[in-house]
Amino acid sequence: MKLRSLWTPEAETAFAAIVEYLDVEWGHQVAGVFVQEVLDTISLLEIFPNGGILEIPNLGIQSIPVAR
């Protein structure tokens, strides 16, 4: 079953700031590639929610790399 991701207002603000920084410092293409990599990663996590690396086992917190 595919899950649905939810963004907190803080996450939306932080993501927008990162994209803006990349756009200003590195250009539209780099910012666009980053956005697509994030969206692709989120899509994978919606399908495979346990696909990340378990970072804090007792809290069930996982991570997954987005950009190289």
**pTM metric for this prediction:** 0.81
pLDDT at 66: 82
d(Cα 24, Cα 18) in Å, to the nearest integer? Answer: 10
Mean pLDDT, 10 residues at a time, the chain of 68 residues: 87 96 97 95 89 88 79
Q: What gap in Å lies between CA 64 and CA 52, rounded to an integer? A: 5
The predicted pLDDT at position 20 comes to 98
Q: Report pLDDT for 52.
A: 85
Instruction: Label each residue of 12-66 as H, E or C.
Output: HHHHHHHHHHHHHHHCHHHHHHHHHHHHHHHHHHHHCCCCCEEEEHHHCEEECCC
